[in-house]
Amino acid sequence: DHHVNYGSGSGLQDRVAFVQNDPSQYDASIRLADLQVSDTGTYQCRVKKNTVAVHEVIVTVQEKPANPQCWTEGELIEGSSILLRCYSR
């Protein structure tokens, strides 16, 4: 039907668009811009020409990790060993 159904309250209206201007030309791919963790979910593509074809895709968006905090343990002496420790939430 040449349109994207965003669902209620999804916040996708400004971030989803067809890849090709005219999806009736055999490419109904969509692009999700500026992915957010809240975009995680099941997405359904429903294409109707002579028959209806439906395909579901599960999208999982993970948060990028926080910057690690790193420090050394041990003396910085040539030939000795030190420990580099890092921690990230």
Query: For 2-48, what is each residue's pLDDT tens digit?
Result: 677 777 666 788 888 888 888 777 787 888 899 888 889 888 888 87
pLDDT band for position 60 (cuts 50, 70, 90): very high
Q: Tell me, what amino acid is at 20?
A: Q
The tokens for 69 are 């905090």
- CA nearest neighbour of 37 among 17, 55, 64, 16: 64
Assign domain 1-63 to its CATH superfamily: Immunoglobulins (2.60.40.10)
Distances in Å between the alpha carbon of 50 and those of 13, 27, 40, 53, 81?
Answer: 28, 15, 31, 10, 70
**Global pTM value:** 0.58
For position 9, what pLDDT does the model report?
60
Q: How confident is the model at residue 1 (pLDDT cuts 50, 70, 90)?
A: low
Q: What is the mean pLDDT of residues 52-66?
A: 88
